[in-house]
Amino acid sequence: MLNADSNPILTLADYVYFENSSSNPYLIRRIEELNKTANGNVEAKVLCLFRRRDLSGALNNLADNGAREFEEETQQPSLPEAQKHQLKHREIFLSRQFESLPATHIRGKCNVTLLNETDLLGGYLEKEDCFYYSLVFDPMEKTLLADQGEIRVGLRYQAEIPDKLAEGVSDGRMLEKLETMVWDPDNQLKDPEIDQFLVVARAIGTFARALDCSSSIRQPSLHMSAAAASRDITLFHAMDTLQRSGYDLAQAMCTLVPRGGPVLCRDEMEEWSASEAVLFEDALEKYGKDFTDIRQDFLPWKSLASIVQFYYMWKTTDRYIQQKRLKAAEADSKLKQVYIPTYTKPNPNQILVPGSKPGSNGTTGFQKGHSCESCHSAHSQQWYAWGPPSMQCRLCASCWVYWKKYGGLKTPTQLEGAVRGSSDDAPRSQLTPPEVQDMSPFAAGSANRAKLLAKNRQTFLLQASALTRLARRLCADVLRPRRAARRPYAPVSATALRTECMARLPKAPKGLLKPKPAKSRPALATVVKKLALQTPQRLKPSRGPPVPINRNQSGQPRAAASLLGKRPLDAPPSNGRALAPSVQNAGQSVIKRQKVNNGDSPNPVVFVATKDTRALRKALNQGEMRRAARKPHLLVKLKAAPVPVLAAVSSEPIVLED
C-alpha cells in the first residue's frame, strides 16, 4: 500500500489513490462521504480529479498556454528538461463529477493543493505524493476553466496605500466626490422621534401590501403582511427618506405617501416565488456557493446580484435553520472515518523471478536482457510488465511505483521531445493514445513536439543502418517483413529485434553477411537524353479544314491561351519536362514557361492532354493501351494510320431535285 503518511485511517475531505486496474495508474479522488452498505461493506462517494493523460490534445494545448503564462507572470526559475517532464505528472484537474467506489480499492493518501502565485513549481517535485491544480475540467462538455475559488495572493492584488499626511497638511481631494453621506448621526431629531417615524413607515408598508394584489396573494393574512413590512428594506427606505428630506418629519411623511399612493418596498425574499426558492435550494445542494453555476443551470432569468442577496436573506429564515439541523443529524449517522489495512496482495503484472513457482504471482514468457523502459536500468529486485503483452516491455520496481502514482515515466519519450544518445540504443516506447497526448506544460516541450508532429512539405529519406538491413535477413521469422509492410501502424519492438539479431549473428552463414554490390546508376545527362528521345510521335494532321464543334467557336483561334494559364492544344506533350533542342521542330515556336512558386504549386500536379496525345490514344487498341500503362518507360510504337479521303470542295451550290 502506497501512503503519503503512515496513518491508515482515512477521513472526509482526504485525497486518496484508487486502483481500478492492475496495469493502469491510480485514480486520484477526494472523499466526500463514507456510507455503509447493506452487506457491511463501505462505499465512498468521491470527487473525481483527472490527469493530463485523460485530456484530449486540444485541452492539453490550452493547459500548456495557461502554464506558460503562469510561469512568465510569477518568474519561475528554469528547470532541467527531466524535471519539466516530471512536473507535468504532478498537475491534475478538478471536476464537479462524483462517483461511488468501494473503500477496499483505496491504496493510500496523497496531497492536492491549489496552485498559488507564491508557490515554486520545483517544490512539488521534492515532496512525495504531492499534486497541484489550477483548472477545472468538465468531462461532459470537454472544457477547461479557471477555478473560481482562487485565492488572490500576490503583488497584483495588493492595495496601493498613499503616504500619511504630515501634521497641519490638509487633504486637497474633494470628499464629496469620493463618498456619499447616507446618514448623519448629528441631526436635530431625537431617538424617540426617529423610532416613531420608523413605526409609521412600517404601517405605511403594511397598508401598501394590502393595496397591492400580488402581495395580498403571497401574504393573505395581516400578520404576514406586517412581518414583511418590518424587514430591513422598509427601514432603509425610511432612513434614506429622512436624509434626503433634511430630517424634516413633515416632508418625510409626504415623501412616504405621495399623491399616487403609498410607496411599496420589497426585497428579494418577496420577489422570489416558492418554486424559485425550491430550485435555489436544490442548486445550493448540488453546487454549493458557486452562484455562477447556480444561475447558469437553474436560475438563468435571475441576475447574479439577486441570487447573492437572496442567499444571505435565506440564511436568516427558519427554513435554513431546519435544513442545517437535518444535515447535522444525517452527518452524525454517517461514517466519519474508515480504517484501511495494508494491501499486501501481489500485482498480476509482476514478472517471475528465479526460484518462484510458475503461475504463482507473475507473468511468464519474458526474455532476458530487457532493460527498464523508464530509467533503462538492467538490474532490479522486481520487474513489472508494462505496455502491450506482445512488446515485452517492463519497468523496474521504483519506476513501476512512479507509474502507478503519477501516471507517466520518469524520462520523456521521443514523442515528447526528448533527445537521446543514439538512435540504435533508444528503445521504441510503447504508449497508449492517452500517453501520446501527454505533453509538457512548458514551451520547450510543446514546441519540440509540434515540430516533430508537424507535416513537413519537403521530401525526406529514411536510410536504414547496416545492422537494420542485416536484422531483416537474420530475423525474418521474427520481424515478418511482408506482414509489417501490410500493417505499418502495428508497433515493432526495436529492442527485442536487436537482441535477437545479436544472438543469431555469431551463427549466421558468411554469405548472408556479405553486403550486396551497389547497382551502377547512369549519369543524369544520360537519363535526360533518354527521356527526351522517348517523346510520343506526332500524327500527321488531315489536310481538310477543321470542322468546328460549335458555331460560336468557328471564328475563335483554337490555340488561344486560357485564363488558367494552360498551354495551347497544339503544343507538343512534354510530360512536365522541357524538350531537348534536337527534338524541337524548326517551325515551332518555343513556349516560354512561367516560373511557378513551390509554395503555390498545386498538389498533385495535373498534366493537360494535348491534341496529339488524344489522337495517339484513339490510335491504340485496348491491349496496347494496357501495355503502355504497365510499362510507361517503353517507347510506344504506332502503326501508320490511313489518311481519310475527303471529297473535293466546290464553291457551286447544291441543287436538290425531286
What CATH number did the domain enclosing 26 receive?
2.30.30.490
Do 262 and 278 lie in a common domain? no
For position 657, what pLDDT does the model report? 56
Q: At 337, which helix (H) or strand (E)?
A: strand 337-339
Per the prediction, the chain carries an average pLDDT of 76
Residue 599 falls within a domain, yes or no?
Answer: no
Q: For a pLDDT cut of 70, what percent of the chain falls above it? A: 72
pLDDT band at 413 (very low <50, low <70, confident <90, very high): low
Residue 657 falls within a domain, yes or no?
Answer: no
CATH number of 222's domain: 4.10.1240.50
| Top mean-pLDDT range of 83-87, 341-345, 536-540, 597-601 | 83-87
Residue 447 falls within a domain, yes or no?
Answer: no
Of 226-230, 324-328, 531-535, 597-601, the least confident = 597-601
Do 227 and 287 lie in a common domain? no
**Which among 220, 249, 266 is the end of a domain?**
266
Grid cell 528503445 is found at: 427
Residue 202 falls within a domain, yes or no?
Answer: yes
Written as one letter, the residue type at 62 is L
Do 279 and 251 lie in a common domain? no
For position 342, what pLDDT does the model report? 79
Do 28 and 118 lie in a common domain? yes
CATH number of 325's domain: 1.10.10.60
Give the residue with greater pLDDT, 265 vs 7: 265
C-alpha cell at 216: 395580498
Q: For a pLDDT cut of 90, what percent of the chain falls above it? A: 19
Domain count, the chain: 4
pLDDT in tens, 189-221: 999 999 999 999 999 888 888 888 777 667 777
Q: What is the DSSP string of 99-159?
A: EEEEGGGEEEEEEEEE--TT--HHHHHHSTTEEEEEEEEETTTTEEEE-TT----SGGG--
Residue 220 falls within a domain, yes or no?
Answer: yes
Residue 198 falls within a domain, yes or no?
Answer: yes
Residue 233 falls within a domain, yes or no?
Answer: yes
C-alpha cell at 236: 432603509
Do 254 and 292 lie in a common domain? no
Do 195 and 316 lie in a common domain? no
Do 24 and 132 lie in a common domain? yes
pLDDT band at 532 (very low <50, low <70, confident <90, very high): low
Do 68 and 115 lie in a common domain? yes
Do 309 and 380 lie in a common domain? no
- Tell me the three-class secondary structure of 195-228, residue by residue: HHHHHHHHHHHHHHHHHCHHHHHHCCCHHHHHHH
Give the residue with greater pLDDT, 91 vs 330: 91
Contact 30, 11 (CB under 8 A): no
Grid cell 536487436 is found at: 498
Query: What is the C-alpha to C-alpha distance for residues 477 and 460, in angstroms, rounded to an integer?
Result: 29
pLDDT in tens, 281-294: 999 988 888 899 99
Which range of residues forms the domain containing residue 376? 346-352+372-412
pLDDT in tens, 465-498: 877 888 888 888 888 888 888 888 888 888 888 8
Query: What is the C-alpha to C-alpha distance for residues 64 and 375, in angstroms, rounded to an integer?
Result: 26
**Which among 118, 146, 174 is the end of a domain?**
146
C-alpha cell at 492: 515493432
Do 28 and 130 lie in a common domain? yes
Do 296 and 228 lie in a common domain? no
pLDDT band at 393 (very low <50, low <70, confident <90, very high): confident
Written as one letter, the residue type at 484 is A
Written as one letter, the residue type at 510 is K
For position 228, what pLDDT does the model report? 80
Residue 112 falls within a domain, yes or no?
Answer: yes
Of 1-15, 156-170, 605-619, the least confident = 1-15
Query: What is the C-alpha to C-alpha distance for residues 195 and 193, in angstroms, rounded to an integer?
Result: 5
**Which among 283, 306, 333 is the end of a domain?**
333
- Mean pLDDT for the stretch of residues 567-587: 43
Say if residue 350's pLDDT is above 50.
yes
Do 20 and 120 lie in a common domain? yes
Of 34, 36, 131, 135, the C-alpha closest to 89 is: 131
Angle at 235 between CA 232 and CA 241, to 5 degrees: 140
Query: What is the C-alpha to C-alpha distance for residues 180 and 652, in angstroms, rounded to an integer?
Result: 112
Give the residue with greater pLDDT, 4 vs 427: 4
